[in-house]
Structure 1
Amino acid sequence: MFHKATRKIVKEIDPYGCTLIPVASPYYSDCYKPLNIIKKKKRAFFFMKDRYIPTPVTVADILEDGKDLDFVLESSSFSDYSASSRILASGEVGVSICDVDAGLHASVGTTSSMSAFKMIKRGISDKMLLEVTRDRKIDRGHSFVKQLYGDILFIISEVVETDRQCNLNSIFEARSGSEVPINIVKAKAGVAAKVQQELSFPGGTTIAFKVSKLEITRDNTLDVDWQEVLQSNMLAFVHERPEIPLTEINTMSKETSLLFLNTFLEILGNCDYLPVLETMLDQICGSLQPDLQVLERLEEENRACVEKLLDLLGIRKADPPGQPLTLTPQQNGIITTVNIFIESLNELNPDVLILLANSVEMKIISIQIKLFEKIEENFFLSSAPRMKRESIGEVQETEETLETLALQLSDEMFEITQRILEEFGLHLMRENGSITYKKHHGERNVFFSIFAALSILSALDK
């Protein structure tokens, strides 16, 4: 709920996504402050956006005698914000999450609201930061500096904060002949269900931040990393979809696969703890015991799901954080795949996660994957002129494969698939036994993230 709200705010105040990054969880807000150093997470695949892991380390901490420096942060109030929205849907959709069955036979609605607040911008320019630190040396003996790769620092140079306590509310309602699971709450036929989620966070909570990339020079001072400018657009020319590592999942027993699948369905049903999982998996992939203290801040239900996944991965919660882990090759393979799954989900709009859960329960993932492969061939692997024509208007698809796949879906299945495809800019239409589509502007990373999530869910659904 928090990440969905911060994404919406950032999209409004930075519509082209040029500078600001939405904070995914309020649990790490204290580490998203100006001059805090963050770790750039190694992307599992090229299509994933840059993601950062918060740390409590600041620029002052890694400078020799840096505690007495005055960085003079600038602060300004630049906008007011309040929002409310209502989303309605109708149809017949089946889903089962956590052994609770559901069939939507009428209408459902979601109402979201956020209390009004002022957004305050605080930060320091790169020029000023370099000016203040020019006579100070980096402490090479600091434990954080010793772990750096390539002498590159990622520093939070600017944040957007709330000026007062903010309240988030999300109300889910289902009416008339519905049986709906929302966080293990059920309403059977003829009974209305109403589930309300609330989240409050204090003033001063960071909702977005800007990152500056600096380099430690040979004389142990800070400077701008000019090489980043030259390399920033290289990935735009990569088109091929990478292979998802599924070997270890494919060799699981049916019972183990089902345990993972049910846990993943719970995760799809509530994305609020995805950032927590991503941080822990980043530590695990580094062969370190994750820091589990943040679990104490989670609601009992959310904490239980995270702990269940850690148990499946063979992580012993009794070990202290930061201790080396001894993992088998099979464990490492499974953890790598799970990490890709969680990273892929973090690339997506939270509303899409429910659609993925619906797809699992409706047994249509295999068809969706084939559709994605066909679409990938048309839009991402082909450089033929017809690709440009499809991107600007409506085109009749005459190839039998796409039509055959789409016609295998019932109306309800097709609607779910259609909504997933729309997430990356493709509107698929089915009428009179033929398929047409409109291609709008969409992000390649969203397409590949959905593809990765579908592939992993399909491998588990034996």
Structure 2
Amino acid sequence: MFANSTKQFVKEIDTGGRLIPLSRLNDSDRLHLLGLVRKKKRLFFWQKPRYFPTSFTLNDVLTEGDPIRPVVEESDFTTFEGSYEDSFAADAEANVLDGKVGANGKRSIKVKSSFGLLKRREVNVPQLLTAVQNRKINVNHPLVQQTREHGNEVLCIVREKILTTQKCSISEHDEGTSCSGMLGFNKPSIKVSVTERESIRHGSDVGLEIPAETALAYCIIELDVFCDGGFELCLLPDKPGSFRKECMKKPLGQNTHEVEVDAATLCKTNSECCPGGQKDICGGTPLSALEAWPEIKEYLKPLADLPKDRRSKLNKICYEMLFNGEQITLLEDILDSISSEEKPDMAQLKDLEPSKEKSITDLLHLLDVGTDQPNSDEPISGNEELLKSSYFFISAMEEMPDAGLAVLGICHELQILPSLTHLMTISSEHGLYSLEDPAISAFKDEWKFKVAQRLFSLSKVNLEVFESTVKATTMEKPGFLPVILCVVLYGFAVLREDA
């Protein structure tokens, strides 16, 4: 609940993208100005970096000299009264056995937030630049050593944070939606409100109290650390933090998590569609020009090689997760830690309903991942290739918008995922596909086509129907959402055995 609320707060309040939402309430107490944060580069190109606040500050890792005492400035930030709704309704008619059943479904995530008056506390950066001049970091400090040895992490310092000024509560309500036929799911509603009372009452299933002086979001400055401990503050977006490669005691790529799956490998867009060697996908590109399928199939092969019964169980669990983005986020976090040879935080599953917690543990067991080591400091191990394949699939699901996941669930219910997968795999010079092709003839049904069209639009793909053809091309500035959709569709195809 806390992570969802802070994520939505940052999305609405920070159009520039500098603020990082705090994902765990427990991290608020150790998020100090000039506190050290580990920034971790992810395995797949669509993944945003992860940030881990530590218990150390910059002063803790500096060599000799007086502690840095930054000039701290405080100001009112805003009074946040926000509301957000992401919903999709679909009417569809699906053939069931010999008859027809009308299907109507709606998914709606509603977030109403009232954090009250917020304040900004930040470091005076010009003064900080003067204070750190000629200072050095102790490169033998355990935190510095361990961060550097990972090879895909850098150190950052907290330069600014946004705080609450009064007590709040977050409550999550699980409300049923009106639905009939073959579609059915729940809509969670998260509500945040301010209270001045010591006791908090709400009519929700789950409640969380947020004290005053709680950090909701923060900004960082990355550090560029030299071999001798000298360092620079990276003040510009195009100046990333680093540990100098010549200082590394082992070559990058020695561990599996250091081998990044980049856009150039997975998405070979046609040079005529994207002239000038652009890495991003261009608007108006036929889906077949992405040429991503051979690589996607290779990454998902370990999943495809699983026995039929295990794939069937995984398919059922992953389908149910489409209507609960929080489950997907937690699962992705666990797989990320395991892939990085770190011990995952399994305790965070306790925030879920028992049935949702069981779904995640069941899925991990199907992937040969043991979860019964609560008191062990050893990383959880498993089949390396299977874990990487599963992480590839789940991370793509996590990157899809919530509305896209919900519509994908409806497509699953309407049994049109094979048609969608086929549409994205067959070649077409101009993105035109014949409706006479039995594999995509389902789109002759107006309602099924509308659901498919909505799914594609949420992944920045235009899907149009003409008298006898369907056309699928990317929208303007689609980013990598079309490729992400390809990964998810083929992942479900593998689990359904129709890949």
Shift of 1:252: 0.4
Alignment deviations for residues 113-142 of structure 1 (CA, whole Å, 9 cap, x no partner): 223523332333554444444464323232
> Does the 8 A contact of 2:431 with 2:471 survive in 1?
no
Q: Give the direction of change, closer, same or farther, for the CA distance of 1:27–1:353 in structure 2 (3 Å limit).
A: farther
Paired with 2:380 and 2:431, the residues of 1 have a C-alpha distance of 54
Pairing 1:415–2:454 present:
no
Shift of 1:256: 1.0
Paired with 1:29 and 1:93, the residues of 2 have a C-alpha distance of 49
Pairing 1:175–2:178 present:
yes
Pairing 1:361–2:361 present:
no
Q: Give the direction of change, closer, same or farther, for the CA distance of 1:88–1:353 in structure 2 (3 Å limit).
A: closer
Paired with 1:60 and 1:223, the residues of 2 have a C-alpha distance of 15
> Does the 8 A contact of 1:114 with 1:169 survive in 2?
no
Q: Give the direction of change, closer, same or farther, for the CA distance of 1:290–1:9 in structure 2 (3 Å limit).
A: closer
Shift of 1:170: 5.5
Give the aligned residue type for 1:13. Answer: I
Identity across the alignment (%)? 23
Paired with 1:452 and 1:113, the residues of 2 have a C-alpha distance of 33
> Does the 8 A contact of 1:112 with 1:169 survive in 2?
no
Paired with 2:492 and 2:472, the residues of 1 have a C-alpha distance of 26
Shift of 1:153: 1.6
The alignment partner of 1:258 has SS state of helix
Alignment deviations for residues 295-318 of structure 1 (CA, whole Å, 9 cap, x no partner): 344443343233223323322422
1:280-291 correspondence to structure 2 within 5 Å: 280-291=334-345
- 2:161 aligns with 159
1:297-308 correspondence to structure 2 within 5 Å: 297-308=351-362
> Does the 8 A contact of 1:111 with 1:172 survive in 2?
no
Give the aligned residue type for 1:337. Answer: S
Paired with 2:365 and 2:431, the residues of 1 have a C-alpha distance of 49
1:216-231 correspondence to structure 2 within 5 Å: 216-225=225-234, 229=238
Q: Give the direction of change, closer, same or farther, for the CA distance of 1:41–1:364 in structure 2 (3 Å limit).
A: farther
- 1:315 aligns with 370
> Does the 8 A contact of 2:40 with 2:154 survive in 1?
no
Paired with 2:465 and 2:181, the residues of 1 have a C-alpha distance of 27
The alignment partner of 1:81 has SS state of strand
Shift of 1:9: 3.3
Give the aligned residue type for 2:185. Answer: I
Shift of 1:448: 2.1
Q: Comparing 429-438 with 131-140, which one deviates more in the overlay?
A: 429-438
Shift of 1:253: 0.4
Give the aligned residue type for 2:20. Answer: I
Aligned alpha-carbon RMSD (Å): 4.0
Alignment deviations for residues 28-52 of structure 1 (CA, whole Å, 9 cap, x no partner): 5556654343333333333433343
> Does the 8 A contact of 2:399 with 2:484 survive in 1?
yes
The alignment partner of 2:361 has SS state of helix
1:242-257 correspondence to structure 2 within 5 Å: 243-244=295-296, 245-257=299-311
Q: Give the direction of change, closer, same or farther, for the CA distance of 1:274–1:370 in structure 2 (3 Å limit).
A: same
The alignment partner of 1:317 has SS state of coil
Paired with 1:454 and 1:69, the residues of 2 have a C-alpha distance of 52
Q: Give the direction of change, closer, same or farther, for the CA distance of 1:227–1:247 in structure 2 (3 Å limit).
A: farther
Give the aligned residue type for 1:456. Answer: G
Paired with 1:291 and 1:66, the residues of 2 have a C-alpha distance of 37
Paired with 2:66 and 2:332, the residues of 1 have a C-alpha distance of 32
> Does the 8 A contact of 1:23 with 1:206 survive in 2?
yes
- 1:339 aligns with 391
The alignment partner of 1:105 has SS state of strand
Pairing 1:91–2:91 present:
yes
The alignment partner of 2:75 has SS state of strand
Q: Give the direction of change, closer, same or farther, for the CA distance of 1:452–1:73 in structure 2 (3 Å limit).
A: farther
> Does the 8 A contact of 2:421 with 2:489 survive in 1?
yes
> Does the 8 A contact of 2:433 with 2:469 survive in 1?
no
- 1:97 aligns with none
Paired with 2:204 and 2:91, the residues of 1 have a C-alpha distance of 22
TM-score by length of 2: 0.70
Q: Give the direction of change, closer, same or farther, for the CA distance of 1:114–1:230 in structure 2 (3 Å limit).
A: closer
Paired with 2:328 and 2:124, the residues of 1 have a C-alpha distance of 31
- 2:137 aligns with 138
Pairing 1:118–2:117 present:
yes
The alignment partner of 1:92 has SS state of strand
Q: Give the direction of change, closer, same or farther, for the CA distance of 1:114–1:103 in structure 2 (3 Å limit).
A: farther
1:5-24 correspondence to structure 2 within 5 Å: 5-15=5-15, 17-24=16-23
Q: Give the direction of change, closer, same or farther, for the CA distance of 1:426–1:138 in structure 2 (3 Å limit).
A: same
Paired with 1:254 and 1:162, the residues of 2 have a C-alpha distance of 51
Shift of 1:411: 3.0
Paired with 2:44 and 2:64, the residues of 1 have a C-alpha distance of 39
Paired with 1:126 and 1:343, the residues of 2 have a C-alpha distance of 36
- 2:199 aligns with none
Q: Give the direction of change, closer, same or farther, for the CA distance of 1:299–1:121 in structure 2 (3 Å limit).
A: farther
Q: Comparing 271-280 with 175-184, which one deviates more in the overlay?
A: 175-184
Paired with 2:106 and 2:396, the residues of 1 have a C-alpha distance of 29
Q: Comparing 139-148 with 21-30, which one deviates more in the overlay?
A: 21-30
- 1:351 aligns with 403
> Does the 8 A contact of 1:160 with 1:206 survive in 2?
yes
Shift of 1:22: 3.7
Paired with 1:204 and 1:141, the residues of 2 have a C-alpha distance of 34
Shift of 1:57: 4.1
Q: Give the direction of change, closer, same or farther, for the CA distance of 1:225–1:82 in structure 2 (3 Å limit).
A: closer
Paired with 1:85 and 1:324, the residues of 2 have a C-alpha distance of 38
Paired with 1:166 and 1:135, the residues of 2 have a C-alpha distance of 45
Alignment deviations for residues 247-285 of structure 1 (CA, whole Å, 9 cap, x no partner): 211110011112222222233221224443333222211
Paired with 1:231 and 1:72, the residues of 2 have a C-alpha distance of 24
Shift of 1:444: 1.7
Q: Give the direction of change, closer, same or farther, for the CA distance of 1:106–1:49 in structure 2 (3 Å limit).
A: closer
Paired with 1:415 and 1:197, the residues of 2 have a C-alpha distance of 35
- 2:259 aligns with none
Paired with 2:46 and 2:217, the residues of 1 have a C-alpha distance of 22
Paired with 1:46 and 1:435, the residues of 2 have a C-alpha distance of 30
Q: Give the direction of change, closer, same or farther, for the CA distance of 1:47–1:282 in structure 2 (3 Å limit).
A: closer
Task: From 473, 481, 484, give the equivalent of 1:446.
Answer: 481
Alignment deviations for residues 128-187 of structure 1 (CA, whole Å, 9 cap, x no partner): 4444444643232322211233684233333334434143556645337467643699xx
Paired with 1:72 and 1:158, the residues of 2 have a C-alpha distance of 12
Shift of 1:420: 1.7
Q: Give the direction of change, closer, same or farther, for the CA distance of 1:212–1:172 in structure 2 (3 Å limit).
A: same
- 2:246 aligns with none
